[in-house]
């Protein structure tokens, strides 16, 4: 584009800094701002009026009437060094820079637009206030390269960048300058459309867009005045945030007195520990994460063990400072967890992309699970009777919500499929014939659709599960003494070859 000198000088005389003058003329090239003196010289935009020209007098020592000095004082080496000093401990190679600006800067920009709108439209090719190059973009173009050199990280403006450095900007005269804006906010019914605490930056844009120009001119100076203080704007604090890191694996549970997650009822803890608490805090410390979320492919009851290859789970690690875990690091973490407790073990730990998490949730309802239950019958049961269970395939059972969970789940009736069964007698006396009809103990291996209540499948839950195991054995009374999850048929995450 061709930068119009007349418009440039007009903006300078109105009190704009060099950078904001280019912003209002729709300059989009970051290099123009990084090398602004060379750019102005090459384009012949120097103020030809010398030191006595209006533009020179306004800008000699005053902060910009639009950015309040943000692009004059908050892009220097001192500011960048202060930001860099607060970014520590993160091992990310790239970073995205974000800035939060005071609301009053938006008001000042609108006031200048009203003052210079016709001239900008006619001579600079700026058709709408939205065409003005964003203040936050120019600030990031000026700060990011120098911050990158100090941090030893590459700047990344993409939305997918995992690590963000956010810089809030404070303006000392914000409250005073925004008082008329708050009056507009209250009087024009915006309270019902925006949050009650006052207009946000986005809300300010809506208010200014819907406010008549004549009304605005009565409440705000047009053009905007020079800020009352020579230096009134500053970068105040830094907030760093790393996107989630997902560590997946499988856990085995060997205890019959351990819940999967912390068990609290009315604020009172019912179990000293949980599977989650035996695994997650150690992982959290290893990656220096601010917090975590634990998810798994289904859950087992407190008194149910999970054996075999274990149950798939994932930890969503929030704002982790250490994200570059080698296979050796993960293996060492796995061993540390397994050596810390006899109740739980983990295997196949690995970092996974977010896209794979859908497979974990699909496994909760779509996959099959294999259980082994220790059952007892009050009535005689023979091996021959149990053998007949081996002919059961893809049996549909109807299960009403179990009595034991009705207090926390809505009543419903769900169909579930029992894919296969196999049972064998367990003599309570080693000297007794295992075919003895009086033997009441037997084991049941059952493969079911995920989500099947296996305990209720065995004892019938007062007729709420039909058919039950007792019905299949000839309407006898059967109960369950112990239950183990032997396999969750979800091949996720993939098995880890520890020999590699």
Instruction: Answer yes or no: is pLDDT of 67 > 90.
Output: yes
State whether 269 and 410 are in the same domain.
no
Point out the domain boundary residue: 190, 212, 241: 241
State whether 372 and 335 are in the same domain.
no
- Other C-beta atoms within 10 Å of 406: how many? 12
State whether 119 and 99 are in the same domain.
yes
Q: What is the mean pLDDT of the chain?
A: 88
State whether 19 and 128 are in the same domain.
yes
Point out the domain boundary residue: 363, 398, 431: 363
State whether 227 and 306 are in the same domain.
no
Write down the pLDDT at residue 50: 43
Let me know: does 453 contact 465? Beta carbons within 8 Å. yes
State whether 381 and 306 are in the same domain.
no
Instruction: Answer yes or no: is pLDDT of 12 > 80.
Output: yes
Write down the pLDDT at residue 194: 45
State whether 208 and 126 are in the same domain.
yes
State whether 315 and 425 are in the same domain.
no
Domain total of the chain: 3
Write down the pLDDT at residue 198: 56
Angle CA 118–123–124, to nearest 5: 95
8: left (phi over 0), alpha (psi -120 to 50) or beta: alpha
Q: How far is residue 388's CA from residue 115's CA, in Å, rounded to a whole number?
A: 91
Point out the domain boundary residue: 241, 272, 287: 241
The answer to which of 44-48, 294-298, 309-313, 371-375 has the lowest mean pLDDT is 44-48
Question: Which of 101, 110, 125 shows the shortest CA–CA distance to 26?
Answer: 125
State whether 69 and 141 are in the same domain.
yes
* CATH code at position 446: 3.30.70.3190
Look at strands 163-171 and 94-100 and give their pairing. Answer: parallel
Write down the pLDDT at residue 284: 98
Position 434 in a domain: yes
Write down the pLDDT at residue 431: 55
Instruction: Answer yes or no: is pLDDT of 435 > 60.
Output: no
Query: Percent helix, strand and coil across the chain, each rounded to 5?
Result: 35, 25, 40
Position 26 in a domain: yes
Let me know: does 278 contact 259? Beta carbons within 8 Å. no
Just list the catalytic residues: 301
State whether 355 and 270 are in the same domain.
yes
**pLDDT tens digits, residue range 92-124?**
999 999 999 998 999 999 999 999 876 666 665
Instruction: Answer yes or no: is pLDDT of 271 > 80.
Output: yes
The domain of 148 spans: 5-241
41 Cβ neighbours under 8 A, 6+ residues apart: none
State whether 70 and 184 are in the same domain.
yes
Instruction: Answer yes or no: is pLDDT of 269 > 90.
Output: no
Q: Could you tell me the CA-to-CA distances from 472 to 412, 421, 465, 477, 492 in Å, in that order? A: 23, 11, 12, 11, 34
Going by pLDDT thresholds of 50, 70 and 90, the confidence category of residue 465 is very high
> What percent of the chain lies above the pLDDT cut of 90?
65
Q: How far is residue 74's CA from residue 99's CA, in Å, rounded to a whole number?
A: 11
State whether 431 and 299 are in the same domain.
no
């Amino acid at each position: 584009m061709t930068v119009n000198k007349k418009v440039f000088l007009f903006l300078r005389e109105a009190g704009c800094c060099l950078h904001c003058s280019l912003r209002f003329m729709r300059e989009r090239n970051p290099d123009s701002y990084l090398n602004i003196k060379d750019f102005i010289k090459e384009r012949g935009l120097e103020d030809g009026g010398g030191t006595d020209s209006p533009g020179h007098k306004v800008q000699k020592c005053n902060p910009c009437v639009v950015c309040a000095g943000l692009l004059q004082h908050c892009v220097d080496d001192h500011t960048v060094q202060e930001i860099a000093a607060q970014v520590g401990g993160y091992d990310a190679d790239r970073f995205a820079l974000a800035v939060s600006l005071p609301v009053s800067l938006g008001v000042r920009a609108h006031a200048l637009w009203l003052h210079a709108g016709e001239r900008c439209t006619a001579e600079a090719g700026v058709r709408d206030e939205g065409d003005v190059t964003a203040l936050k973009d120019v600030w990031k173009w000026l700060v990011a390269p120098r911050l990158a050199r100090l941090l030893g990280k590459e700047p990344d403006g993409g939305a997918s960048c995992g690590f963000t450095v956010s810089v809030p900007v404070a303006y000392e005269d914000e409250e005073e300058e925004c008082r008329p804006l708050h009056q507009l906010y209250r009087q024009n019914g915006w309270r019902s459309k925006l949050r009650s605490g006052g207009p946000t930056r986005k809300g300010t844009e809506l208010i200014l867009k819907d406010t008549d120009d004549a009304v605005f001119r009565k409440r705000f100076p047009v053009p905007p005045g020079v800020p009352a203080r020579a230096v009134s704007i500053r970068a105040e604090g830094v907030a760093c945030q790393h996107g989630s890191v997902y560590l997946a694996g499988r856990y085995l549970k060997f205890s019959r007195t351990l819940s999967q997650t912390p068990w609290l009822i009315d604020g009172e803890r019912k179990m000293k520990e949980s599977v989650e608490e035996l695994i997650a805090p150690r992982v959290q410390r290893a990656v220096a994460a601010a917090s975590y979320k634990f998810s798994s492919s289904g859950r087992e009851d407190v008194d149910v063990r999970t054996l075999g290859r274990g149950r798939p789970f994932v930890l969503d690690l929030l704002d982790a400072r250490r994200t570059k875990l080698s296979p050796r690091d993960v293996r060492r973490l796995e061993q540390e967890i397994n050596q810390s407790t006899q109740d739980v073990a983990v295997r196949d730990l690995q970092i996974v992309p977010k896209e794979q998490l859908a497979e974990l949730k699909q496994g909760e309802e779509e996959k099959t699970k294999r259980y082994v239950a220790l059952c007892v019958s009050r009535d005689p049961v023979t091996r021959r009777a149990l053998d007949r269970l081996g002919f059961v395939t893809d049996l549909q059972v109807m299960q009403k919500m179990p009595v034991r969970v009705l207090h926390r789940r809505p009543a419903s009736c769900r169909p579930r499929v029992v894919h296969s069964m196999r049972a064998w007698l367990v003599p309570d006396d080693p000297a007794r014939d295992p075919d003895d009809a009086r033997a009441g103990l037997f084991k049941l291996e059952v493969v079911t659709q995920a989500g099947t209540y296996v305990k209720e499948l065995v004892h019938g839950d007062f007729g709420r599960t039909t058919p039950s195991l007792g019905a299949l054995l000839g309407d006898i009374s059967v109960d369950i003494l112990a239950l183990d999850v032997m396999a969750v048929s979800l091949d996720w995450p993939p098995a880890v070859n520890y020999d590699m």
